[in-house]
Amino acid sequence: MTAPEKAKLSLPSDFDRENHKRLGLITLADTELLLQQGQANDALKHLRESLGLKSFLVRHNHSVATGQIAKRRSETEIENADRRVQKWAEVYCRAFNAMRKLKPLGDDGNHGREQMRELVNNGLIMLSSWMEEHRRWREKGEVAEAETAKQGKGRRELPWIWKCTMRIEWLHAHASVARFEEEMRLLEAESERVGKMFRFHQKKMEAEEGQSEEQRLAVVAEEKYAAVELEKIKKGI
């Protein structure tokens, strides 16, 4: 007999979608869908990070590793990074398959999962590897690429796991540019106001310098008279 703590807890995704209503699992299915979407997004994030780590190790370790022991250590690190890639790919696939059972085909043609798609092995490529491949094709030229494409080969399309994150990065960069432009407009307006203030004080000082000695003495006398009158008011005289 299976111990209670080892018993499997069934989720709505363990049942066919057609039976959710009969079993009273509609609300629970919607809740699990949200959880599986979060799990899938987290898995994609870790998957891209793991591919980035693997790319770094391939480029860095192979370039600096010298000697049999160093190269073996380098290969071990790359293998560990690749296992992380496979682990998070498996986590994503489980979440994706669960969502397939929880929600019918939506308006986006992808069970309401927007940018999420089925993950295939040829999509687990390092971004640096894809960019290097495209660099080589550009060097070969369009004619060579067209000839190779006729044979069913040629440059590979960028996998969707990188496309979706590039869209997000573009939006973040676009927002940063918009903030920078707004700050520039504010600084330009502030600079214009500062210039106007200095020009105003410049004209005022020039006007004061242009006054005659008698006018300046008259202003001083008026200020002294005003001060004396104010002092009398304070003393109640």
Q: Return mean pLDDT, the chain.
A: 76
Residue 224, pLDDT score: 83
CA-wise closest residue to 101 among 37, 13, 21, 40: 13
Global pTM?
0.58
For 121-145, write each residue's pLDDT tens digit: 766 776 666 566 666 656 666 655 5
Calpha distance 119→112 (Å, rounded) = 16
Domain-wise residue ranges, the chain:
10-121, 125-158, 160-235
CA-wise closest residue to 75 among 62, 86, 64: 62
The residue-averaged pLDDT of 19-42 equals 84
How far are the Cα atoms of 31, 109, 143, 154 from residue 127, in angstroms, in the given order?
34, 27, 25, 17
Calpha distance 149→143 (Å, rounded) = 10
Angle at Cα 164 formed by Cα 158 and Cα 165, nearest 5°? 100
